[in-house]
């Protein structure tokens, strides 16, 4: 079969690889129908994380089941499913508690398409991918949903959803601020989910005009962040006071602006990844206001059904964030400079 490998900054190639087969009775094989490029893929492609050995790319996938093991009970060939990007068994203590991103049955961080961090599970930009715990991992797409429109439900949409869903459940209708940046699509999905969940006001701040245009299309309030003489965002001290804030900036100034904009006893979730060993924090201000900061990988499998329900009800349309849809054959050119949310189809 063919699979797409990343070879360096802005560089990918199609290569031939042995097609995976079933390695146990509880496994399934899936043929990708639509693969979305994640914000972390863009980090790899930008060269921020140097690529040593080439590895298979892609981990946001909707596909068709083509083969199942004898012990698989919930799926049959022909089913269209969401493939969560993380590997999870569904039976360990962590999975049973809904912490599927911390599955105890596999090495920590196990995931498709990010071999340096997630192990050698292959990538979704391939003819076939192997699902080791089919009944636990796979999620039926549901009637009437377009695989291309919802491909990012495997990772980035739940990542944005978790940043606002739990806080809004505790404070229904609360105002939400999203500070955009390196987590480009996750920040937009967070804003869209906040609106879908009934936030009274949703503000999306960013320095990129294209991101602000997408935020406006989502029906949220865009706020432009000016750039300094060095071209970097000139973050304000704060954007006001919001009970719920989301940091998608990946920038110390953006993180501080989000934290300082969090209202007393409010919650800030950072969905960005900070690759430095140390990240300064305004801890005294957070202490005096009782600000809660949450960061960490989302537990995608546990959240996917909730996200699909929002989409099925017509309250959330992830396709509004999609920048382009291209065929697998055009992947090499499209990934040289990937847009905010690129969807690839066979």
CATH code at position 214: 3.40.50.720
Same domain, 66 and 166: no
Residue 46's pLDDT is what?
86
Which of 34, 293, 38, 336 has the alpha carbon at shortest distance from 189?
Answer: 38
Same domain, 151 and 165: no
Q: State the total domains in the chain.
A: 2
Same domain, 147 and 13: yes
Same domain, 237 and 212: yes
Same domain, 18 and 148: yes
Strands (E) across 208-319 are located at 221-224, 242-247, 262-270, 292-295
Cα–Cα distance, 304 to 60 (Å, whole number): 12
Same domain, 42 and 133: yes
Task: Give, for 35, the enclosing helix (H) or strand (E).
Answer: strand 28-36
Same domain, 77 and 180: no
| Backbone phi and psi for residue 175, each to the nearest 5 degrees, phi listed first | -75, 145
Residue 185's pLDDT is what?
97
Cα–Cα distance, 150 to 11 (Å, whole number): 26
For residue 18, the domain's CATH number is: 3.90.180.10
Same domain, 235 and 340: no
Same domain, 262 and 314: no
Same domain, 26 and 146: yes
Same domain, 341 and 211: no
Residue 276's pLDDT is what?
85
- pLDDT by residue for the chain (346 residues), tens only, comes to 999 999 988 899 999 999 999 999 999 999 999 999 999 999 888 888 778 889 999 999 999 999 999 999 999 999 999 999 999 999 999 999 999 999 999 999 999 999 988 999 999 999 999 999 999 999 999 889 999 999 999 999 999 999 999 999 999 999 999 999 999 999 999 999 999 999 999 999 999 999 999 999 999 999 999 999 999 999 999 999 999 999 999 999 999 999 999 999 999 999 999 988 889 999 999 999 999 999 999 999 999 999 999 999 999 999 999 999 999 999 999 998 889 999 999 9
Residue 51's pLDDT is what?
81
Residue 40's pLDDT is what?
92
Where in the sequence is the domain holding 339, given as residue range(s)? Answer: 2-155+298-345
Same domain, 28 and 75: yes
Cα–Cα distance, 98 to 75 (Å, whole number): 21
Residue 47's pLDDT is what?
82
Residue 310's pLDDT is what?
97
Residue 262's pLDDT is what?
98
């Amino acid at each position: 079969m063919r699979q797409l490998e990343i070879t360096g900054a802005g560089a990918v190639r199609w290569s031939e690889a042995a097609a995976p087969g079933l390695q146990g009775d509880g496994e399934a094989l899936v043929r990708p129908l639509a693969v979305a490029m994640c914000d972390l893929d863009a980090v790899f492609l930008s060269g921020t994380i140097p690529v040593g050995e080439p590895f298979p790319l892609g981990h946001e996938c909707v596909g068709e089941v083509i083969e199942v093991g004898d012990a698989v009970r919930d799926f049959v060939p022909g089913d269209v499913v969401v493939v969560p990007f993380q590997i999870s068994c569904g039976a360990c203590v962590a999975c049973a508690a809904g912490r599927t991103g911390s599955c105890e049955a596999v090495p920590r961080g196990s995931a498709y398409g990010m071999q340096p961090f997630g192990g050698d599970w292959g990538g979704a930009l391939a003819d076939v991918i192997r699902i080791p715990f089919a009944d636990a991992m796979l999620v039926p797409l549901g009637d009437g949903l377009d695989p291309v429109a919802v491909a990012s439900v495997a990772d980035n949409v739940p990542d944005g959803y978790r940043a606002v869903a739990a806080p809004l459940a505790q404070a229904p209708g609360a105002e939400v601020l999203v500070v955009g940046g390196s987590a480009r699509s996750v920040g937009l999905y967070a804003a869209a989910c906040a609106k879908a969940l009934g936030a009274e006001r949703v503000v999306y701040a960013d320095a990129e005009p294209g991101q602000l245009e997408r935020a406006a299309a989502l029906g949220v309030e865009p706020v432009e962040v000016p750039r300094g003489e060095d071209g970097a965002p000139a973050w304000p001290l704060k954007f006001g006071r919001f009970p719920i804030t989301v940091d998608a900036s990946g920038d110390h100034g953006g993180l501080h602006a989000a934290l300082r904009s969090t209202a007393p006893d409010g919650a800030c979730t950072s969905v960005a990844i900070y690759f430095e060993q140390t990240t300064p924090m305004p801890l005294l201000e957070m202490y005096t206001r009782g600000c809660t900061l949450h960061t960490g990988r989302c537990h995608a499998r546990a959240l996917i059904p909730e996200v699909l329900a929002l989409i099925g009800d017509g309250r959330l349309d992830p396709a509004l964030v999609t920048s382009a849809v291209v065929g697998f054959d055009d992947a090499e050119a499209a990934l040289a400079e990937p847009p905010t949310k690129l969807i690839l189809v066979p």
